[in-house]
Chain A
Amino acid sequence: MDLPLWATGLIGFLIINAMLVSASVLVYAERKVSGYIQNRPGPNRVGPFGFLQPFADVVKLIMKEDIAPRAASPFIHSLAPVLMVIIAMTVPAVIPFARGFVIADLDVSVLVVLALTSVSVYGVTLAGWSSNSKYSLLGGLRSSAQMISYELSMGLAVVSVVLIAGSLSLVDIVEDQASGWAILGWNVIRNPVGAMLFIITAFAETNRAPFDLPEAEQELVGGYHTEYSGMKFGMFFLAEYVNFFIASFIIVTLFFGGYLIPFEPLFAHVFYDNGLGWLLGVLQFFALLAKTAFFAFLFIWVRWTLPRFKYNQLMTIGWKYLLPIGIVNALVIALGVAVFEALGL
């Protein structure tokens, strides 16, 4: 899609704002879902059904005094939360939202996603180090160890997807899933092990429970953001929610058909014949959003259901189970692709 620069800028502006709003929606959803899971009503005082609760939270965070420890390294202490938000907000640039609607259609967009994921560990690590506090440092160390360990398995899960699609572009990967009856072309059907692997590692990479050791409240006070207050803490909070929303987008794009609607080829021509291609695009966007919402719900659901792993369990799962499974899965998928190509299917 060749848009003029100003149009790309405008779309980017809209998407960044949509992400900010989505974070507040997710905060509300998390508090409400956790409430119902624990058999309590959740926030219900601010606005109808407590809808305005996240906005009240934001106002509170902005009004709070910004306190930094005297021994903290001032520049890095301020840089860390900004880094988290910037990286979280960069990923939507490569996500295809509907057919032909993606801000940056790169040949290597899958690698961009992986690169940004691996860089995002800096935010947590630097926050932990620069605070000059033992709880923060422990949180930062745990986070970098965890992310290094699970990145490999995540990379292998992505490799299996790339092998099937034969392309490093997210757009090609989504279009590759269009073949097959209804949802049979989706990568979750063709590559179920890879899908499970990716979902598990996505939980680990976003520091969500049961992989939330970097911010384990019971052991580390607040983990890497113990020494942050006011809007700097707010930015970590924002980045966490945007991150798992983005992770849901990536899960859907790689394994659950992205913006594809089941049975789309049966009725797509009706839209194109009547010159309503844009309406199909809107429907595809809503299909993507619906699938993403399910995975966002899954993230919340798991957080309030499963207890946290111990550190040794975390490392055992990452290195002794997920990594070998990932390697074998990538090999099997590669063999499968080779056999299918040889048979000319």
Chain B
Amino acid sequence: MVAQLLFFLLAIVAIAAALGMLIARNPVNSALWLVLNLFCIAGLYLTLNAQFIGIIQILVYAGAIMVLFLFVIMLLNLAELPRREDIDWKRGAAFILGMGVLAQLVYIVAMSFDVLPHPPAAQEAVATGSAQVLARALFTEYALPFEVIGLLLLVATIGAVMLAKRRFV
């Protein structure tokens, strides 16, 4: 019960933050909305008992990547977009309601054909969310993709350094 309430709370805040990120006219505010969104996603992971993924989400996305984004935004000193005065609230409300009805209809159709994924039980999530299980999967079953991703990231890093140096002819 508490888990469900938490899920809906976090999901609503996550969606609101994502909308805020899209709507915000100021790039820094936009980035901050995204940070809030990432925190909510991390919270969702925690409600699934996937502590490792949840904390890594905060550490990597909110802590490292978004700080870098914010740093670049502040360094470029981007100007605020002009405020839009002509927001059509009727159209906005109609869009939200329409999407709500569509989501319900899709849900009912999907239910009747039984194609919805079944959420894993909490016990299963505990087994799959821990650092040990994740590491075992990464270094045995998915060792090759893992190494390939590592190589890709290395190539991207070298490329970034090359571009920054600008000495190529």
Contact = CB atoms under 8 A, between A and B. Distances in A.
Interface in B96-133: 130-131
Interface stretch (A15-23, A118-126, A211-219): A118-126
B51 A108 contact: yes
B131 A107 contact: yes
B74 interface: yes
A147 B29 CA distance: 21
Which range holds the interface residue count of chain A?
Answer: 20 to 34
B63 A108 contact: no
B59 A115 contact: yes
Interface string A127-162: 011000000010011001101100100000000000
Contacts of B71: 125, 141, 144-145, 148
Nearest to A168: B131
A196 interface: no
B67 A122 contact: yes
Contacts of A73: 26, 28
A111 interface: yes
A283 interface: no
B17 interface: no
Nearest to A112: B55
A108 B45 CA distance: 14
A29 interface: no
A107 B62 contact: no
Contacts of A125: 67, 70-71, 74
Given A108-B52, A111-B52, A122-B35, A148 B59 contact: no
Given A76-B32, A137-B74, A168-B131, A147 B67 contact: yes
A106 interface: yes
Contacts of A76: 28-29, 32
B10 interface: no
A114 interface: yes
A158 to B, nearest CB: 11
Interface in A225-265: none
A121 B131 contact: no
Given A122-B35, A148-B71, A108 B55 contact: yes
Interface majority SS on A: helix, strand, loop or mixed? Answer: helix
B11 to A, nearest CB: 22
Contact of B59 (A118, A121, A126, A145): A118
Interface in B48-98: 51-52, 55-56, 58-59, 62-64, 67-68, 70-71, 74-75
A299 to B, nearest CB: 23
Contacts of B68: 148
A118 B131 contact: no
Interface in B128-152: 130-131
A120 to B, nearest CB: 9
A272 to B, nearest CB: 31
Given A107-B130, A141-B75, A115 B55 contact: yes
Contacts of A140: 74
Given A119-B63, A125-B74, A148-B71, A106 B58 contact: no
Nearest to A109: B55
B71 to A, nearest CB: 5
B123 to A, nearest CB: 16
A119 B74 contact: no
Contacts of B28: 73, 76, 126, 129
A66 B131 CA distance: 46
Contacts of A114: 59, 63
Central interface residue in A106, A114, A115, A121, by most chain B CB within 10 Å: A115
A147 B64 CA distance: 9
A31 to B, nearest CB: 32
Central interface residue in B29, B64, B68, by most chain A CB within 10 Å: B64
Contacts of B51: 106-108
A5 to B, nearest CB: 11
A151 B68 CA distance: 12
A119 B59 CA distance: 8
A118 B62 CA distance: 8
A140 B71 CA distance: 9
Central interface residue in B32, B59, B130, by most chain A CB within 10 Å: B59
Contact of B64 (A107, A108, A128, A148): A148
B32 A151 contact: no
A261 to B, nearest CB: 30
Central interface residue in A108, A114, A121, by most chain B CB within 10 Å: A108
Contacts of B131: 107-108, 168
A128 B26 CA distance: 16
12 contacts: A107-B52, A108-B51, A108-B55, A117-B63, A118-B67, A141-B74, A144-B67, A144-B70, A144-B71, A147-B67, A168-B52, A168-B131
